[in-house]
Amino acid sequence: MIITDIEKLKVKSEDANEDEVKKILDELDLALKLSGERGVPGIGLSAPQIGINKKIAIIRIGNMKIDLVNCEITKKFDKILFSEGCLSLPGKTCEVERAKQIIVTNNELGSHKALCAYGITSVCIQHEMDHWDGILMLDREVKKQKIIGPNQPCPCGKLDQKGKPKKYKKCCGRKNNG
């Protein structure tokens, strides 16, 4: 069963030992499969999401299978804004800034010793590994800046000579436009 209690998801994970890896990977595969059968499909799942605070996660995108165990991201390249969802936060999505490409190393107990991931695979790996540190996508959400039109009241709150809010173009907007 996938955990949805945010407080339980905020706990940091420990390294997994070799004896427990296969069992946890099997449990993750089953939980991800059952979630999809219940109409909530996903492409990744981390052990903390099923109540096991170990550094293990799986990524299943089409025919690609990646097992992550006690690894770390050692390099990040470029940035993208990505709309993420999470099986532990059903129905919630948010914009998160992630590295477009990553290199993951020290994955000796997983399916790859080192790997380079790009695009959605990179985003998914970062998301699942965040769970190991008790970090949720909500913690990384990028708040959209409100766009202020030139004739809207300036957000600084200054008033004109008549006591009305100054228009942005005649206040802070002027400063920002040279």
Catalytic residues: 128
For residues 165 and 42, what is the distance between their CA atoms, to the nearest angstrom? 48
56-61 and 44-46 beta bridge pairing: antiparallel
For residues 127 and 106, what is the distance between their CA atoms, to the nearest angstrom? 18
Cα torsion 145, 122, 60, 18: sign: negative
- The candidate with the shortest Cα–Cα distance to 53, out of 91, 96, 7, is 7
